[in-house]
Amino acid sequence: MSQLQYSEFATEILSNIKNQQVGLAESEPSIDRTLGYLTAAEKVIGENPNERILITVASKNSLKLPALGEKIRPAILKERFSYVCLRKFYNCINNADIYLTPEERINFFALITWIEKTKDGDLSEILHYSRTPILWKKTACEAGSCLGAECEHFSTCHFQKAKKNAENSNLLLVLHNLFLQDMQMDFAILPHSEKIVFDNAHALPLKSQKTFGKHLYFYALRNSVKQNAWCKKWEAQAAESEKLFLSLMKEIQSYSQNVKKRKITYNQSLSAETGISPEALQNSLRNLLEIIERTSSEFYAQNEIGKAKDCMQFSSDIRKISSDLAFFFAASNSEFVYWLECPSNPHQVTLNAEPISISAKWKALYSNLKSAFFTSETISINGRFDYFVSRLALYGKNMKSKIFSGDAGIEVFAAEFLPKPSEEKFSEELTKTLCEIISKNTTNTLIFTDMASISKLQAEIKKDEALQSKTCFFQGVDGNFFNLIGFFQKESGNVLIGTSDELKFLEEMELPENSLIVIARLPFPDLKEPVISRRMEILKEQGKNGFTLITMPETSFTLRSAYSAISRSGKKQTLLLLDSRIISELYGAKIQSLFPNFKTLSHRVFSTGFFDKP
């Protein structure tokens, strides 16, 4: 990154904040955006230390602040559920036989060592929520079970310290998820900020859609019940509720099998749609609530405030499950898309609802701001910000946009010699080409294709002794894609094959130098995905072109994000696109212009010199 690029980027943000504008800035990976917006924030706060600037980022890896000027009062705030609750932690130590299962006691030993060393009490330093969700809930800070100033650990509470620091800060750093939860709760979580910088802004539309939606599955109840197994008074009723919940999920799964659909969109009462009633489960949940609340009152009367508050958190969980269940079965909000996802395991059946548009929430935000600055490596398409602007309802704002170009980046090739994916010979020719790539490429190869192609490729490799000498990892066969990344990175020449859905993991990967990344087909969005499907229907009703207004922008963002993630390694890498429509179709020109180093790859070059390393 040149000093000029960095200086221009910082100046752009400074101008945006001082002039109270909405700013959009895209930069290449070589430009240090973090340093740019922190430099601008330092200057603004230096002139007025009572100003607060809020910065939101996409991942925990970005929740870091360097040493800053003496007038800066920096703070980092995470979701409350991220922090350990010391009261609950010591409850587990002092009453392990009541609060912990034998297996949890083994895992808990790691927390005992960690608690003495941790600086901010973030449970993710020691636990993985996806692997130990119940132990996490048993030790995490939750609003319903918090004693506040009455807690004996209040003065040393990590969350209370972080919250106080945030309230006293003039530079606050948070994750997108926490900021969006604050928006969802009408700005009741975070301290008031009128000047905001959104880094990694490309992630905001999808994260907003997920956060503003609702999702319910069986483990929402089971995990809450297991967390509260310490009290036997509700054990029988909780078991009945679990049984009825699972029975309901099995009924939904059976309906899914009858209509031969794993994903079912609906827009009327779910009972009317399926003939399934949640009444028995709702009655059971009401009975469970009565027992929990009665037990809570008994604990209050006995002055066992901690147990009483734990009961209140449990009742809050049950109320939310009951409320969400009613919401899904009513399906009465026309601003949402409702759907069921029904895999083969009934425990994993989910009820889902997400907003068709996220613009209303974002519009409500802008009226409370003096300035907002959105920055990322990928928020424009072919030099225009229109799609991002429309998704976040930025039209009509005092807006300024700019693109900061950096280094030229990686080489991008598109093969012109394969049939189109719609043609009969495509599958066979694609498998043959992928086998040739695996055979000839001596460095690491990362392939993104569809599940059918993965199966065919694996079958071909089993037939070919030369290919069997290659170390190949297949998503779905050898494990999930995320867990296979570490094995892929260990040795040069390894091959990892996954679906196009896993392109998102490129942002988190450390690619070995000279890796070849292959994308077999253009990553068009799944038009059966319920929210996108509904948005396409609305455009059709309006006489507008969904391919131009949704399909192409979404595809372009996916490819740009992949390109930026690969470029971010700072190493020599190559991106190979095997979809010949990039060359043959009219819209292909727009795909080509996404990449500064785009080249067409002929079969002659592919077969002769493409794999020769300089």
Query: In this predicted model, what pLDDT tens digit does every residue of 131-142 receive, in sequence order?
Result: 899 999 999 999
- Residue 613, pLDDT above cutoff 70: no
Torsional class of 200: left (φ above 0), alpha (ψ -120 to 50), beta (otherwise): left
Q: What angle do CA 305, 306, 309 make, to 5 degrees?
A: 85
Q: How many angstroms separate the CA atoms of 90 and 86, rounded?
A: 6
Q: pLDDT tens, 19-68?
A: 888 899 988 776 788 888 999 999 999 999 998 999 999 988 888 888 88
Q: Is 189 part of any domain?
A: yes
For residue 184, what are the domain limits? Answer: 3-73+170-209+358-404
pLDDT digits (tens, 9 = 90+) for 178-231: 999 999 998 899 999 999 999 999 999 999 999 999 999 999 999 999 999 999
Q: Is 302 part of any domain? A: yes
Band the pLDDT of 471: cuts 50, 70, 90: very high
Same domain, yes or no, for 468 and 590? yes
Same domain, 132 and 245: no
Structure tokens at 291: 């027992």
Report residue 568's pLDDT band, with 50, 70 and 90 as the boundaries: confident
Cα separation of 121 and 139, whole Å?
A: 11
Query: Is the pLDDT reported for residue 427 higher than 80?
Result: yes
For residue 569, pLDDT over 90 is answered with no
Asked if residue 613 belongs to a domain, the reply is: no
Beta carbons within 10 angstroms of residue 32's beta carbon: 16
In a domain, 572, yes or no: yes
Amino acid at 461: I
With bands split at pLDDT 50, 70 and 90, how would you rate the model's confidence at 2?
A: very low
Q: What is the pLDDT of residue 106?
A: 93
The per-residue pLDDT for 44 is 92
More confident residue, 195 or 604: 195
Are both 475 and 589 inside the same structural domain? Answer: yes
Q: Can you give the pLDDT at residue 1?
A: 40
d(CA 282, CA 326): 8
- Examine the domain organization and report whether 349 and 287 are in the same domain: yes
Tell me how many degrees the CA angle 114-117-123 measures, rounded to the nearest 5.
45
Number of domains making up the chain: 4
Residue 609 in this model has a pLDDT that exceeds 80: no
Task: Express as a percent the part of the chain with pLDDT over 90.
Answer: 77
The rounded Cα 552 to chain-centroid distance in angstroms is: 22
In a domain, 614, yes or no: no
Whether residues 367 and 313 fall in one domain: no
Helices marked H in 80-227? 86-94, 96-99, 102-115, 133-139, 158-168, 176-184, 204-211, 218-227
CATH number at residue 595: 3.40.50.300
Any domain includes 280: yes
Dump pLDDT digits (tens) for 246-295: 999 999 999 999 999 999 999 999 999 999 999 999 999 999 999 999 99
Whole-angstrom Cα distance, residue 177 to residue 309? 26
What are the pLDDT digits (tens) for 363-405?
989 988 999 999 998 999 988 999 999 999 987 666 778 877 6
Q: Write down the pLDDT at residue 33.
A: 86
As a whole number, the mean pLDDT across the chain is: 93
User: Is residue 571 assigned to a domain?
Assistant: yes
* CA 251 – CA 244 distance, rounded (Å): 10
Q: Are residues 245 and 195 in the same domain?
A: no
Q: Which two tokens stand for residue 249?
A: 């999920």
164 assigned to some structural domain: no
**Beta strand extents in 230-278 (DSSP E only):** 263-266
**pLDDT, mean of residues 490-507:** 92
- Residue 25 near residue 202 (C-beta atoms within 8 A): no
Q: Are residues 185 and 228 in the same domain?
A: no
End-to-end CA distance of the chain: 25
Question: How do residues 510-558 score in pLDDT, each as one tens digit?
Answer: 888 899 999 999 999 999 999 999 999 999 999 999 999 999 999 999 9
From CA 450, how far away is CA 574, in angstroms rounded? Answer: 21
How far, in Å, CA of 133 to CA of 151, rounded?
Answer: 24
Domain co-membership, 437 together with 570:
yes
* Residues 244 and 255 reside in one and the same domain: yes
Amino acid 305: pLDDT: 96
Query: How far, CA to CA in Å, does 49 sit from each of 17, 46, 266, 506?
Result: 14, 6, 52, 39
- Same domain for 23 and 146? no
3-state class percentages of the chain: helix first, strand second, coil last, to nearest 5 = 50, 15, 35
Regarding whether 525 and 475 lie in a shared domain, the answer is yes
- What CATH number should be reported for the domain holding residue 281? 1.10.275
Residues 229 and 190 in one domain: no
